[in-house]
Structure 1
């Protein structure tokens, strides 16, 4: 009998981007000054149209951002977010959805 051992598969690298908030979010005694936004997988985009996310529609971002931010934001916190911060977050999310070829052409 041969013992077949396999090397553990490497975990896929999680792509994240940091957004520094212009207007920090206050959570009781905690102040959130920056967010880590991770590149969403398809499951994090369920229930929203990709075109709405790419166009940074507020309703779409309100659904997606709680699924991909660290610390995780509540929908109410996103609705109360400074518009400039929401635009920053939306830009990051929509940038994650662009194909690598498109991003390479921008440089």
Structure 2
């Protein structure tokens, strides 16, 4: 099982703590349930909004709060699980 880390340019606030890194682990079949693999590979934000909380330390609401640069960095690492 492969893991990846994305360092956020803009940390996400969680209560009094800040999340500075997103820890991602390679998804398993069950975590892809209900998702179209092609949508994940196209970096569809809705597909990633469902998948990323299943495989990371972010919630869906925290995923929604990511600025564009951090969003793309997280999405690129997710897609890399499928392409590398």
TM-score normalised by length of structure 2:
0.94
Alpha carbon RMSD of aligned pairs, Å? Answer: 0.9
Q: Which runs of 5+ in 1 are unaligned?
A: 1-13
- Displacement of 1:42: 1.0
Q: Equivalences for 1:1-107 in 2 at 5 Å?
A: 14-69=1-56, 71=57, 73-98=58-83, 103=84
Q: Distance in 1 between matches of 2:67 and 2:59?
A: 14
Larger radius of gyration: 1
Q: Output the TM-score relative to the length of structure 1.
A: 0.75
Q: Number of paired residues?
A: 84
Query: Which fold has the larger relative contact order, with Cα–Cα distance below 8 Å and residues 6 or more apart in sequence?
Result: 2
Q: Which 4+ stretches in 1 moved above 3 angstroms?
A: none
Unpaired stretches in structure 2, ≥5 consecutive residues: none
